[in-house]
Amino acid sequence: MSRIWLVTGASRGLGHEIARAALDAGETVVATARSADEVRDAFGSASDRLHAFALDITDAYAAKLVAAETTERFGAIDVLVNNAGYAELGFFETFTDAAVRRQFEVNLFGTMNVARAVAPHMRQRRSGLIVTISSVSGLVSNAGGSVYSASKFAIEGWMEGFAQELAPLGVRSLLVEPGMLRTDFMDGKSASFGSIDIPDYAEAVGQYRAFVDEANGKQPNDPKLLAARIVALASQDEAPSRLVFGDDARQWAGAKVNQLRQEIAQSADQG
């Protein structure tokens, strides 16, 4: 029997690939973006099981309306993919306060809006899966990624706790932490850069921007493979709580774990 998927940020990038993979698996997909027309243009006449909805995830009321209409039309939301987001890439002091707050408004509070809208339906049915697209940057931060990582670290902390609150009620959670995916995530459609010029950072910022420009379109990981993996895991009764995807992500996460072990041991020695 076809399950009902709700996928945010589905007009392009990983969200688009997840929605397409779910359709290919015979599922029914409610695909959202800020413009429903963008979703329709992205998929064309791919399937009569695709339903495009407009949703700005920063609008909590709109998220509730989409969740309510989905359950009314289709009877349930079996899988929520909280994917919509973007990146502020650059050095912290080069961002205005408004830019930093916007990063959290979309990546954290917008994602919370959608989860808050969908979770009651899943709790009522004692069934469902919430897939949250985080990043390896939610586990590891670096120069040039502090603001984006801060929003993803927050996602990690929130969902790790929320998942434990939902589990006794039959609602499962999967946190997805990809490495660098070959999407348009690093170009101007998704990424934003700091607007304040600070001479002390000028050289480092220039090198970072050159790295981003060079990496854009050449990222090592295939989003189609990740999408297929997510769809496959969603069909399993015992899916993992986390998926660290890509050799780069596993390497960076592993190095962070080793660093933490060392720092924990050093803290004990100094006790």
Q: Answer whether 10's CB lies under 8 Å from 83's CB.
A: yes
**Residue 77: which residues within 8 A CB-CB, separation 6 or more?**
4, 5, 6, 30, 67, 70, 71, 118, 121, 122, 128
Q: Answer whether 130's CB lies under 8 Å from 171's CB.
A: yes
- What's the confidence (pLDDT) of residue 32? 98
- What's the confidence (pLDDT) of residue 270? 63
- What's the confidence (pLDDT) of residue 214? 78
Task: Compute CA 182 distance to the chain's CA centroid, rounded to the nearest angstrom.
Answer: 15
Cα(191)–Cα(93) distance, rounded to whole angstroms?
17
- What's the confidence (pLDDT) of residue 271? 52
Q: List the domain boundaries for the chain.
A: 4-270
Pick the range with the lowest mean pLDDT from 25-29, 41-45, 62-66: 41-45
For the cut 80, the answer to whether the pLDDT of residue 10 exceeds it is: yes
Considering Cα of 9, then 11, then 16, then 22, what sign does the dihedral take? positive
Q: Answer whether 130's CB lies under 8 Å from 172's CB.
A: yes
Cα(183)–Cα(12) distance, rounded to whole angstroms?
8
Residues annotated as catalytic are 134, 148, 152
- What's the confidence (pLDDT) of residue 198? 95
Percent of the chain with pLDDT over 70: 95
Task: Compute CA 87 distance to the chain's CA centroid, rounded to the nearest angstrom.
Answer: 11
The tokens for 193 are 């850069």
Entry field: residues in the chain: 271
The tokens for 258 are 């080793």
Evaluate if pTM is beyond 0.85. Answer: yes
Cα(269)–Cα(271) distance, rounded to whole angstroms?
6
pLDDT band at 220 (very low <50, low <70, confident <90, very high): low
Three-class SS of the chain: CCCEEEECCCCCHHHHHHHHHHHHCCCEEEEEECCHHHHHHHHCCCCCCEEEEECCCCCHHHHHHHHHHHHHHHCCCCEEEECCCCEEECCHHHCCHHHHHHHHHHHHHHHHHHHHHHHHHHHHHCCEEEEEECCHHHCCCCCCCHHHHHHHHHHHHHHHHHHHHHHHHCEEEEEEEECCECCHHHCCCCEEECCCCCHHHHHHHHHHHHHHHHHCCCCCECHHHHHHHHHHHHCCCCCCCEEEECHHHHHHHHHHHHHHHHHHHHHHHHC
- What's the confidence (pLDDT) of residue 116? 98
- What's the confidence (pLDDT) of residue 97? 97
Average pLDDT over every residue of 12-20: 95
pLDDT band at 1 (very low <50, low <70, confident <90, very high): confident
For the cut 60, the answer to whether the pLDDT of residue 153 exceeds it is: yes
pLDDT band at 119 (very low <50, low <70, confident <90, very high): very high
b (16+ CB within 10 A) / e for 51-61 = bbbebbbbeee
Q: How many CB atoms lie within 10 A of CB 40?
A: 17
Superfamily of domain 4-270: NAD(P)-binding Rossmann-like Domain (3.40.50.720)
pLDDT band at 191 (very low <50, low <70, confident <90, very high): low
- What's the confidence (pLDDT) of residue 85? 95
Average pLDDT over every residue of 225-246: 94
**Residue 17: which residues within 8 A CB-CB, separation 6 or more?**
223, 224, 226, 227
Tens digits of per-residue pLDDT, 71-115?
999 999 999 999 999 999 999 999 999 999 999 999 999 999 999
- What's the confidence (pLDDT) of residue 26? 96
pLDDT band at 267 (very low <50, low <70, confident <90, very high): very high
